[in-house]
Chain A
Amino acid sequence: MSTEKPKVAFYWCASCGGCEEAVIDLAEDILKVTAAVDIVFWPVAMDFKKTDVEAMEDGSIAVSFINGAVRNSEQEEMVNLLRRKSGLVVAFGSCSHLGGIPGLANFWNRKTIFNSSYHTSPSTDNPEGTIPQEKHIMEDGKELTLPRFYDTVYTLDQVIDVDYYLPGCAPPKHLIMTAITAILEGKLPSKGAVLSPNKSLCDDCGRNDSKPEKLAIKAVKRPWEVEMDNEKCFLAQGIICMGPATRSGCEERCILGNMPCRGCFGPTDQVYDQGAKFLGAFASLLDSDDEEEIEKIVNTIVDPAGTFYRFSLPSSILRRKRMETVK
């Protein structure tokens, strides 16, 4: 193993594995990556242990790509370890960047999640009502432990210092390659940058021309309720599309598949709270000045919080549902 090559680590926390898949999806380009760097830690694909990372010198890993949100003590410990050992940390994918889909658990807490997973879900078969314990003493006196599950899901930058963000669920290949090339060539933007263009998806959207002069929505439809036109702006069809409040750079993967944007790239730099910003834009399109009628249209929006914050709840201003009201 050549010693001059920069060292790279990949790690996953609360995620689905799709981000790991995105790295594999680099296909033959991954050979260019491995030619230029040494991968020193990658639990999903290579056999290195935590002790191997602990044995490394602090700061000796050039860059760690960490995907997934942080929701238990093991993940918190691992990302702190990787932070210490790494020069750069890149939050890889929506979950580490914004909280992602696991972040929707912030409408619940540990107790209600355990109750659903281990007691009430239809597929649960748990007659003794066992729930995971953090500590258990075996008959032979040996102690077994499990990580502590937190009430709240955190974004990576709420736990450790993060240098860059690669957005997307999962980040598309061209952005990953651009980021890796920028790191290798030392041509990085200023710290804290999201490595994707800072403009809204609508700016790039191929359907932008089909948007009428004035958007007006009489009733909100969910994608399964209508046959969707495959050329017309989704908002003009009364379908919630997060494009106006979402960063571009995804090459419209969902739009090209005739599905509206769900917001996985998060907001642009000018926005603090993607869901609230979208709500502001979207509500003003509701086509009525009458209180009762507005109320009626609002009622056709089934789950505003879950829809507008689908990927960004932990990174939002409120971060989670009020604890004392979680039932």
Chain B
Amino acid sequence: MSSENFDPTLIGFLCTWCSYTGADLAGTARMTYSPNIRIIRVMCSGRVDPQFVIKAFKEGADGILISGCHPGDCHYKEGNYKALRRHRLLRKMLEQFGIEKERLRLEWVSAAEGAKFQNVCDEFTEQIKELGPLNIMKGDINEYREA
């Protein structure tokens, strides 16, 4: 698929206290941004289990955004630091699976940063368009026979 007509599927895990509210602000302020992202609200970026990320990739996501409060602002004090540590290690591990590290993005977006959320979504969509579709196989034994 060429990058012009590839419409990436993006998943965004946003913390309820900062980033989800930031996205909400972008919406109520009628800022427009690329509609590729599907938002999942979580209580904290530290709640994002690496299993969620991997499952999302497996089920067809081309890129995943994890977004939480700025360092020092976490509602639970250190959840976002945990998200940061997991993001760095998970990104490294995903590369071993042939999943480019750019496909997993971490951003700090506060409740006041609707414009930042808008920018992140647009930029991320463009970036993933350039990378192309992820095309993860199901990995069934029947898939092998068809190939």
Contacts and interface: CB of A to CB of B under 8 A. Distances in A.
Contacts of B51: 271-273, 276-277, 280, 317
Given A273-B51, A283-B82, A317-B54, A322 B89 contact: no
Contact of A322 (B53, B54, B71, B136): B136
Interface stretch (B1-9, B92-100, B114-122): B92-100
Contact of A151 (B92, B98, B144): B144
Nearest to B49: A280
Contacts of A306: 96
Nearest to A325: B98
Contacts of B88: 283, 291, 294-295, 298
B50 A279 contact: yes
Interface in B64-93: 71, 78, 81-82, 84-86, 88-90, 92-93
B135 interface: yes
A158 to B, nearest CB: 6
A133 interface: no
Contact of B85 (A107, A151, A158, A284): A284
Contacts of A276: 49-51, 53-54, 90
Contacts of B137: 320, 322-323
B55 A304 contact: no
Contact of A280 (B86, B92, B136): B86
A289 B88 CA distance: 12
B144 A152 contact: yes
Contacts of A107: 96
Interface in A225-255: none
A303 interface: yes
A286 B85 contact: yes
A293 B140 CA distance: 40
Interface residues of A, number: 44
A162 B58 CA distance: 24
Contact of B144 (A150, A283, A294): A150
A284 to B, nearest CB: 4
Contacts of B49: 276-277, 280
A308 B93 CA distance: 9
Given A159-B141, A280-B86, A305 B50 contact: no
A158 B71 contact: no
Contacts of B81: 289
A318 B57 contact: yes
A317 B55 contact: yes
Contacts of A284: 46, 82, 85-86
Interface centre among A283, A288, A325 (most CB of B within 10 A): A283
A323 B136 CA distance: 8
Given A152-B139, A305-B93, A324-B98, A317 B58 contact: yes
Closest 5 CB pairs of A and B: A325-B98, A322-B98, A319-B139, A305-B96, A276-B50
7 contacts: A276-B54, A279-B86, A280-B49, A283-B50, A283-B85, A306-B96, A321-B96
